Amino acid sequence: MYPRGWYLPGSGVQRGNILNSAGAGEPLTPGYPAKDYMFRIEQNETDALARIPVHPIGYSDAWHILNAIGGPAAPAEWAGGLNITYRLGPGFDSASWARSIKMNIRVRNERRDIFNTVGVIRGRVEPDRYVIMGNHRDSWTLGAVDPTSGTAVMVEVTRAFMRMVERGWRPRRSLVFCTWDGEEYGIHGSMEHVEEFHKKLASRAVVYINIDTAVRATYTLRPRISPSARQEVREATKRLPWPETVPEGTTMYDVWRKRSPIDPNDADTQPRISLLGSGSDFAGFVHRVGVSCIDLSFTFDPALGVSNYPLYHTGYETFHLQADIIDPGFKFNRGIAQLAADLVRGFADPVILPFDLMEYANYLGVMRSDLQAEYGTDLANQGISSDSLDSAIQNFTDAAQAFHSRLQAIDKNNPFEVRMFNDQLMQLERAFIDPLGLPGRPFYRHTLMAPSKHNKYVSDPFPGLTDTIFDAERSTDPAPAWREVAKQMSIIAFNIQSAASTLMTPA
Amino acid sequence: MYPRGWYLPGSGVQRGNILNSAGAGEPLTPGYPAKDYMFRIEQNETDALARIPVHPIGYSDAWHILNAIGGPAAPAEWAGGLNITYRLGPGFDSASWARSIKMNIRVRNERRDIFNTVGVIRGRVEPDRYVIMGNHRDSWTLGAVDPTSGTAVMVEVTRAFMRMVERGWRPRRSLVFCTWDGEEYGIHGSMEHVEEFHKKLASRAVVYINIDTAVRATYTLRPRISPSARQEVREATKRLPWPETVPEGTTMYDVWRKRSPIDPNDADTQPRISLLGSGSDFAGFVHRVGVSCIDLSFTFDPALGVSNYPLYHTGYETFHLQADIIDPGFKFNRGIAQLAADLVRGFADPVILPFDLMEYANYLGVMRSDLQAEYGTDLANQGISSDSLDSAIQNFTDAAQAFHSRLQAIDKNNPFEVRMFNDQLMQLERAFIDPLGLPGRPFYRHTLMAPSKHNKYVSDPFPGLTDTIFDAERSTDPAPAWREVAKQMSIIAFNIQSAASTLMTPA
């Protein structure tokens, strides 16, 4: 337990926002930048802001309350981790019936200015192509892990690139370094930036590399990455050492894939990579605009059974926690800085962008198999065919394969040819963006992934489809609900077909 | 009167659709291409399809009915052009009370396949940049004017370019020639194309040049053009002869500006050019995607007082009408073919795209003045400031000016620099597209222009703003209605600011 370990003392309290903005950004200007001149709705016109005052308490305080609850014992699966008998109430038990709880909660909604800081190293050859790296700057309290472990990485990476610039180096493409404000309040800084500069990002952003909680533990790498950028991350980890001497291997890739295998029974397994959910500043880039994103961090062994590092968002996120308990010697902080810097150069400098579209094709196949395994029978029972989806994935796969074949044969000294292929690579992720948004969530527009409705940190694949299946299976009026499923099936098939069409020879 | 003149015989009937799709394309798949696999809503789930059977009749038939109507005389402004006393009814007069009218109307909604035909001349240097020319192929009956005068132009233009290709010529950018199907039913062919290939068009389309009713009369030119493409059209008309010998001058520009002056009292007046409304195939390109558009035709003297050529959409649109009555010798058909071909080359071949952004800045100023003249007092009375709009227009103007200054100084032998500036020029129109659409019209997304709600052939400027002002002034609950006006003001200001930001130095 802190200060000797990373577990939370009983008086500790986890902060966090309970905003439900569904990707709309600052809640009073949904979809538009919250500039001074922008029209603001009233607080009672949005569902994003909580109407019931809430406040977290520490588990020592909770013990006193829960231990005094009366009534029958709660079912086993409702019991928490405190050493008491969990009871259902109502009210306190007979020994405590006269007790009362008084909480003084001061909650107020206030309008405050926030500030993003953006630095640019102008590209030598293609200044209008942006390789963006970002991290938020605000924290709930001291924030030594979230976000300062990432901030240290950002500062080191920018320092290294500026040293190179001083020596006369320039990247081929522009590097853009962003420190975001107001992330903890609801990803406001980056989302407002995305809203304000949507058009520029849509036509110019190559990739957004997010650093937030860079090192929450040192067991394994935990990246969330757009499919077509995955191979480049794997290649980078093959070039870099694991920061410590461990039995699993010497490269970052080796240790990562052995500690986070996709298939533990396969000696040649690839390491696990997730889709992009939300909960950090990449969300606006990928879900609103369709910029390919990479989110990097080192994390703990899932066998620990904790949902996050236990001191997450508490007053115990001190320098001592990061420097002495989580990453003594800052070896993993350095490691992730090396990885981030390698990726920034990996997207900024090569003549041809290192996107691998076959990764996307293969991942679509994985998503398709998962869909079949989970919902295949239900869909068949409802007479909803997946033929259009299969056909679209096949067309996309063929188009990606043919694209990479043609790419092998291009004249790299022909700038227009280079730019044409690079634009197709860069724009691919945009093709999955539907301006009409997902059902009921107009600001999540990526049709292949979205923050899960039940856990915003992870992503649901085919969210328009799986959300409507979920609803249909619980609907009291199933016929129209299943029609909505059929509609979403065709919309996803269309977006994949549309993406395939962008990969064809342009003329 | 036909066959001796272009006026409509009494038995003639004007066809036309009464679809109300508000830019949604084929009505059962709003927003998505009507492919076989696409989910279709039911006919009763859309407001686009008429529910009351209607049928036009000729004025000779109408005479018999209107002349027999009883009751008091109608107010003068309700009277039409027939030589009768217009009466209010109800029912027939005493001499005709026993008469009845029997109409057999067979109306059915049917799903039919339509086919667009698209031909491409691959660009030599920038094959992934598209200069698109299009015209619809379907007609209500014989369609010699609408669309065949345009089709003749398309055929001639493509023939000329193919002759050049056979001689070894290639354009710098790709030329795309489209003949659309199903335009008369609701602009279906081109809109479905836009829906299917939205992403490719958004990133690659330079300009869309529309030919439809190319020559409805030979009095003056009647182009509808995106502001930044206007100067190029004026320049082209200065290079081309007016097809006949007339006193106003020898060039197309001279006659056009004298017969359609913006200011008849100004000897140096420019010719009149309109914003892009709808009613033809450019609608999807400009209102959904934000592709700069040019729509060309020769038309009649407005002093004639007809709303269109009188045989529009009737069975009298014969070859005789076009060849002997409207354009004997096809001189104006040839003239518009010359103009179209000149514009195709004008956008396809120069190293730098011929968009003039100061034209856009100036036009924003004109729109702003018109807004002030018409609604300035109302806005002031409601306390709605236009400062944000003024500031945005000023910023846009400054950015456009600085952009063109930098453009003067670029190295035209640097392909990346050329492409960077061209992309900014090409993407400018896209910056005005709001993915959330106009209030109540999600598929019209251009915030500066939209088909008027009252006349789909013309455009309303600042439609989100002027529509909500119109509603607010008639609202029984004015407070929220004027708040919506204030919101639209800020959205338009934002979109203009966003456009300005795309014109800054990219990095």
A9 within domain boundaries: no
Tell me: do B168 and B230 sit in the same domain: yes
Which CATH number does the domain housing residue B480 bear?
1.20.930.40
Q: Do A196 and A326 sit in the same domain of this protein? A: yes
Catalytic annotation, pick one of B423, B471, B473, B498: B423
Verify whether the Cβ–Cβ distance A204 to B489 is below 8 Å. no
The pLDDT score that the predictor gives to residue B453 is 82
Q: Which of B131, B119, B144 is nearest to B172 (CA)?
A: B131
Q: What is the pLDDT of residues A239-261, one digit of tens each?
A: 999 999 999 999 999 999 999 99
Q: Who among B31, B200, B490 is closest to A38 (CB)?
A: B490
Which residue, A272, A275, A273, is CA-closest to A287? A275
Report which DSSP code applies to B92.
Answer: B
Helix (H/G/I), strand (E/B), else coil: A120: strand
The verdict on A31 touching B (C-beta cutoff 8 Å) is yes
Distance in angstroms (rounded) separating the CA atoms of residues A485 and A471: 9
CA distances from A495 to A244, A466, B287, B325 (A): 44, 16, 20, 49
Q: Is A494 on the interface with B (CB under 8 A)?
A: yes
Residues A339, A366, single domain; the answer is no
- Is residue B446 among the annotated active site residues? yes
- Taking the C-alpha atoms of residue A142 and residue B359, their distance in angstroms, rounded to an integer, is 53
Length of chain A: 507
Q: How far is CA A225 from the centre of its chain?
A: 8
Q: Do A506 and B128 touch (CB under 8 A)?
A: yes
A66, HSE (Cβ side, Cα atoms, 13 Å): 18
Tell me the pLDDT tens digit for each residue of A408-455: 999 999 999 999 999 999 999 999 999 999 999 999 999 999 998 877
Same-domain status, B146 and B291: yes
Q: Which of B193, B394, B498 to mutate to test the interface with A (most CBs of A within 10 A)?
A: B498
- Residue A469 shares a structural domain with residue A389: yes
The residues with which A215 forms a beta bridge, in sequence order, are A298
Distance from CA of A383 to the nearest CA of B (A): 13
Asked whether the beta carbons of residue A415 and residue B415 sit closer than 8 angstroms, the reply is yes
Chain-centroid distance, C-alpha A363? 17
pLDDT tens for A351-409 read 999 999 999 999 999 999 999 999 999 999 999 999 999 999 999 999 999 999 999 99
Rounded-to-integer distance, Cα A158 and Cα A137, Å: 15
8 Å CB contact of B196 and A498: yes
Is residue A292 assigned to a domain? yes
Contact B490 A32 (CB under 8 A): yes
Domain that residue A155 falls in: 117-348
Give residues 278 to 307 of A whose Cβ lies within 8 Å of B: none
Q: Is residue B183 flagged as an active site residue? A: yes
> What CATH number is given to the structural domain containing B138?
3.40.630.10
Asked if residue A191 has pLDDT above 80, the reply is yes
Q: Which of B348, B373, B401 is the endpoint of a domain?
A: B348
Domain closes at, from B348, B374, B398: B348
Tell me what pLDDT residue A291 has: 98
Count of alpha carbons within 13 angstroms of residue A459, beta-carbon side: 25
Cross-chain CB nearest to A120 (options B120, B498, B507): B507
Residue B214 covered by a domain: yes
Chain B residues with CB under 8 Å of A436 CB are 31, 442
Which residue in B26, B156, B183, B184 is the catalytic one?
A: B183
3-state secondary structure of A117: strand
How many structural domains comprise chain B? 2
Note whether A507 contacts B127, CB cutoff 8 Å: yes
Tens of pLDDT, residues A105-152: 888 888 999 999 999 999 999 999 999 999 999 999 999 999 999 999
* Mean pLDDT across chain A: 96
pLDDT at A340 over 90: yes
pLDDT, position A179 = 98
The answer to whether A126 contacts B420, with C-beta atoms less than 8 Å apart, is: yes
DSSP structure class, residue B113? -
Cα–chain-centroid distance for residue B384? Answer: 31
A61 carries an active-site annotation = no
CA–centroid distance for B320 within its chain: 27
Residues of B in contact with A486 (CB under 8 A): 39
Whether residues A180 and A297 share a domain: the answer is yes
Name the domain boundary from B297, B320, B348: B348
List, for residues A463-502, the tens digit of each pLDDT value.
Answer: 999 999 999 999 999 999 999 999 999 999 999 999 999 9
* B278 & B381 share domain: no
Q: Are residues B274 and B417 in the same domain?
A: no
Q: Hey, are the CB atoms on A199 and B490 less than 8 Å from each other?
A: no
pLDDT score of B64 = 93
Residue A302 included in any domain: yes
Nearest CB neighbour to A128, from listed B35, B125, B420: B420
* DSSP character string of B297-336: EEE--GGG--SS-TTTTSTT--HHIIIIII-GGGHHHHHH
Residue B25 lies in a domain: no
Query: Is residue B219 in some structural domain?
Result: yes
Q: Is residue B379 a part of any domain in this protein?
A: yes
Residues A370 and A477 in one domain: yes
Residues B281 and B411 in one domain: no
Nearest CA in chain A to B174: A507
List all residues of chain A from 174 to 233 with a beta carbon under 8 Å from chain B. 174, 176, 196-200, 203-204
The H or E element spanning position B150 is helix B148-166
Q: What is the dihedral of CA A331, A334, A335, A338, to 10 degrees?
A: -160
Please give the DSSP secondary-structure letter assigned to residue A322. Answer: I
Residues B156, B174: one domain? yes
Q: Is residue A393 included in any domain, yes or no?
A: yes
Query: Which parts of chain B register pLDDT below 70?
Result: none
ipTM score for this prediction: 0.95
Q: What is the pLDDT of residue A324?
A: 97
Pair B128, B161 in one domain: yes
